Amino acid sequence: MSRFALRPIIAGLSLTLAAGALSGTALAAAATDATTAAPAATAPHGGPAGKGPHAGPGEHRRWEGMRDSLWIPGLGPIGKKEVDQLKLNTQQQGLFKTAQDAQRDLGKSMHDAGRSRHKLLDDQVNGGKLDPRALLDQETQNRKQFEGQADQVKQKWLAVWDSLSDGQRGQVTQFVKQRQARWEADRAEHKGERHGKPGGPEGHRPPPPPAGAPAPADKPAG
C-alpha cells in the first residue's frame, strides 16, 4: 500500500479523534489559535474545517476574530467587537484570559497528538507492518485525555458567563439573537440559490458567523 493510498486513513483517524475529543461541547479547534490549530473538528457555531494560517486574507481575519472571541458553551462565540461592548471588569477579564489560555493549550495538545499519531503510522508504513490495534489504542488514550481537558475548558468558559451581570447577559442575548437572524437570512438566500440553479450542491449550509459579524452583502441584480 502506497503512502498516498494511506492518506485517507490518516485523515479519517484525525477526524475521529478530534470529533471524539470535543463531543458534546461547543468548543472546537476552530476557535483555537491558528498557529496551533489541531485537525479540524466540527461543533455548533464552530469555524470552517480546513481553514487556518494558510487561508486567504479574508479567512485569516476570520480566524483572528474567532481566536479573540468569548466562547459560551452551547451558544458559541461572541465576537471581539461585542466583547468590547460588554466592558468586562478586571475580574471578568482575568477569567476570560484564563479560559482563552486553557483553550489554546487544548488545541496545542490535540496538534501534538496528531503529529504523534502520524509518526506512529509512518513508522508502521516504513517498517512494512501495519498495526491498527496500536493506532486505536493510542487514539483511545488521547480521546480520554482530551475529553477531560475539554470539560475543564468548558467549565472555565462557564465561569466567565457566571461572572456576567444581568445587564451583560442581556447584551449577549441580543448579540445571539442578531446572529441567529443573520444566519436564517443567509440560509434562506442559499436555499433560493440552490432552487434557482439545478445541479447545485444540495444540503450545503455555511456555519453561522460570530455574533456581531457584518451581515452578508446583497448581491447585485443580474
- pLDDT tier, 26 (very low <50, low <70, confident <90, very high otherwise): very low
Mean pLDDT of 28-33: 37
For residue 129, is it within any domain?
yes
Q: How high is the pLDDT of residue 204? A: 54
Average pLDDT, the chain: 72
Please state the three-class secondary structure of 186-217 as a single string.
HHHHHHHHHHHCCCCCCCCCCCCCCECCCCCC
For residue 80, is it within any domain?
yes
Residue with cell 469555524: 47
For residue 191, is it within any domain?
no
Strands 76-78, 70-72: pairing is antiparallel
For residue 178, is it within any domain?
no
Q: Which of 70, 59, 88 is closest to 167 using CA atoms?
A: 88
Mean pLDDT of 119-136: 90
For residue 208, is it within any domain?
no
Mean pLDDT of 93-98: 97
- Using the predicted structure, report yes or no on whether residue 211 has a pLDDT greater than 90: no
Q: How high is the pLDDT of residue 5? A: 47
Q: Which of 102, 200, 217 is closest to 155 using CA atoms?
A: 102
For residue 101, is it within any domain?
yes
Q: Which of 74, 79, 149, 59 is closest to 111 using CA atoms?
A: 149
Here the contacts of 106-109 (C-beta below 8 Å, separation 24 or greater) are 106/27, 106/32, 106/146, 106/149, 106/150, 106/153, 107/29, 107/32, 107/33, 107/36, 107/37, 107/38, 108/32, 108/36, 108/38, 109/38, 109/145, 109/146, 109/149
- Using the predicted structure, report yes or no on whether residue 62 has a pLDDT greater than 70: no
Mean pLDDT of 184-211: 67
For residue 62, is it within any domain?
yes
- pLDDT tier, 156 (very low <50, low <70, confident <90, very high otherwise): very high
What domain range includes position 27? 3-164
Burial 55-72 (b: 16+ CB within 10 A, else e): eeeebeebbebbbbbbbb
Give how many domains the chain has, as a whole number: 1
Q: How high is the pLDDT of residue 214? A: 55
Are the C-beta atoms of residues 160 and 99 closer than 8 Å to each other?
yes
- Using the predicted structure, report yes or no on whether residue 47 has a pLDDT greater than 50: no
Q: Which of 71-75, 91-95, 192-196 is the most confident on average? A: 91-95
- pLDDT tier, 210 (very low <50, low <70, confident <90, very high otherwise): low
For residue 214, is it within any domain?
no
